Amino acid sequence: MIDSFSHLNYKNPSIEGRYLPWTDLKQITERWDSFVIKDLIGVSVNGNSIPVYRFGFGNKTILMWSQMHGNESTTTKGLIDFIGFLNTDSETSNKILNQCTLIVIPILNPDGASAYTRFNKNQVDLNRDFQDFSQPESVFLKSVFDHVSPDFCFNLHDQRTIFSVGSPAKPATMSFLAPAADKDCALTPSREIAMKLIAVINDTLQQMIPNQIGRFDDAFNNQCVGDYFQELGVPTILFEAGHYPEDYKREVSRALVFHALFSAVNSIACESYSSYPIDAYFDIPENQKNFLDIGVIHPHLVNKHIPKDSVVAIQYKEVLEAGEIRFIPEFHAIDQENKFSFHRIVDLSVLKSDLQTTVLHNIRDIVAAICV
C-alpha cells in the first residue's frame, strides 16, 4: 500500500480489533472533555450516555456518527485516529479546523456496541427507524441534526466480508454511497455534492487499494438515515469499511477509513470537490455479494457424499467471548458451479494432522458432518 501521509503517525494504540464498547473509548474521550457539547447528550435505551463532540470553528459543518450498528467498529477506530490528527496543531489540521466544524458522535448505539450486535437494546435496526423514530438513539441523532444544521453528513458503517467488486472479484475493502433523495434516484443538488466527494475519496483510495472500492446500490428507502437526510437536502455519504485479505481485525480498513475521512474533510475545507465530475462516481463499480470466508476443496476426501469437484463454502460467525471477538467457522453452502470467490482456500488433500491448527480441524469436522 502507498501511504505517503502515514496513518501510523496518528493511530491510537489503545484500541484494536473488532470489539469496541463505549467503555474502551473512555481513556480517549476523557481527553476530549473540552470538546463535548454539553447540551447535546443522548441517552440509550439501556441508560448509557451518547456524547457529541465539536472540533473546529469553521463555517462548514460536518455531522458524523459511527457505530449506529453496534458491531461495526472499524469506522469508529478510523474516526478516533482522524480526530487524533486534527488535534496535532499542524498546518493542515489547523486549516481544516479553521474551515470546518466537525460534530462527532463516536458511538451512536452504545448498547449494541457493548453487546456486539447490529441492533439497539430493543432489537431495532436504528438505520431503519428514520420514519418511525421509535428509538431514543434515532430521535437523538435527528435532534443533533436539527440543532447543528449540518452542511454535510457522514454515516459511518462496516460491511460484511461477502462484498466484492469487479470481475474477477476482489474484496470490496471500502464502499460508498451517495444515497438517493427520492424513489426516482434523481440527481438532486445535495446528492451531486455527495457524489463528487465520493469521487475525491475514490481517487485517494485507488492509490492504496486499486480496484477494491465499491459503490452501493442506491434504491431509495427513507427509513435509512442517509436517504432521509439526503431527502432533507443535506449532502450525505455512506462509508462502509470492509474486508482486506487476512485482516479480520480490520486494522488495514481502519487506516483506509482514516484516509477516506481526511480526503473528504480536506476537500470540503478547500472546496476542491466541486470541480469533480459526477461520472467519476458512477465509474466506481457496484458492489456484488460474491465473497465467502473459506472455500474447502477436495471435500470428498472426508465426506464421500459431497461431489468431488465441488467446493464447500464456510462462513465465519462472529461471537463475543470474554471481551474478544472469535471467528467460528460454519458450513454455508456447497458450491458446484464456481459461483463464489473465497478469501481463503483450504485444501483437504494436503491437510496433515500434525500441522493443523484447531480451526482447520474444525473445518474438516464441519465438512465431514455435512448431510447431502
Cα separation, 133 vs 127, whole angstroms: 10
Judged by CB, which is closer to Zn ion: 125, or 151?
125
Cβ 175 to Zn ion shortest distance, Å: 11
User: Which of 64-72, 100-108, 135-143, 284-292 is the region at the interface with Zn ion (rule: CB under 5 A)?
Assistant: 64-72
Residue nearest to Zn ion (CB): 157
Judged by CB, which is closer to Zn ion: 65, or 273?
65
Judged by CB, which is closer to Zn ion: 63, or 366?
63
Cβ 17 to Zn ion shortest distance, Å: 18
User: Which of 18-26, 129-137, 154-162, 303-311 is the region at the interface with Zn ion (rule: CB under 5 A)?
Assistant: 154-162
User: Is 243 an interacting residue with respect to Zn ion (CB under 5 A)?
Assistant: no
Cell 435509512 sits on residue? 224
Cβ 155 to Zn ion shortest distance, Å: 9
| DSSP codes, 236-253 | EEEEEE---TT-TT-HHH
User: Which of 38-46, 135-143, 150-158, 317-325 is the region at the interface with Zn ion (rule: CB under 5 A)?
Assistant: 150-158
User: Is 69 an interacting residue with respect to Zn ion (CB under 5 A)?
Assistant: yes
Q: Using an 8 Å Cβ cutoff, are 314 and 297 in contact? A: no
Going residue by residue from 205 to 234, which x/- string records binding to Zn ion, judged by CB under 5 A? Answer: ------------------------------
Cβ 157 to Zn ion shortest distance, Å: 3
Cβ 226 to Zn ion shortest distance, Å: 10
Judged by CB, which is closer to Zn ion: 75, or 190?
75
Cα separation, 300 vs 320, whole angstroms: 33
Cβ 120 to Zn ion shortest distance, Å: 12
Listed residue (268, 227, 46, 252) closest to 158, CA to CA: 252
The beta strands (E) that lie in the chain are given as 42-43, 49-50, 53-55, 60-66, 100-105, 152-158, 164-165, 170-171, 174-177, 213-215, 236-241, 291-297, 311-321, 324-335, 341-347
Q: Using an 8 Å Cβ cutoff, are 326 and 292 in contact? A: no
Judged by CB, which is closer to Zn ion: 51, or 70?
70
Judged by CB, which is closer to Zn ion: 250, or 298?
250
User: Is 157 an interacting residue with respect to Zn ion (CB under 5 A)?
Assistant: yes
User: Is 259 an interacting residue with respect to Zn ion (CB under 5 A)?
Assistant: no
Cβ 199 to Zn ion shortest distance, Å: 22
Going residue by residue from 12 to 51, which x/- string records binding to Zn ion, judged by CB under 5 A? Answer: ----------------------------------------
**94 Cβ contact partners less than 8 Å away, ≥ 6 residues apart:** none
CA distances (Å), 86 to each of 96, 266, 267, 372, in order? 8, 11, 15, 56
Cα separation, 278 vs 197, whole angstroms: 10
Judged by CB, which is closer to Zn ion: 157, or 259?
157
**How many residues line the site for Zn ion (CB under 5 A)?**
3
Return the SS3 of 371.
Answer: coil
Listed residue (148, 12, 168, 177) closest to 85, CA to CA: 12
Cβ 194 to Zn ion shortest distance, Å: 17
**30 Cβ contact partners less than 8 Å away, ≥ 6 residues apart:** none
Q: What are phi and psi of 360, to 5 degrees?
A: -70, -35
Instruction: Compute how many other C-beta atoms are within 10 angstroms of the C-beta atom of residue 64.
Output: 23
Going residue by residue from 289 to 308, which x/- string records binding to Zn ion, judged by CB under 5 A? Answer: --------------------
Please give the DSSP secondary-structure letter assigned to residue 273. Answer: G
Query: Which positions touch Zn ion (CB under 5 A)?
Result: 69, 72, 157
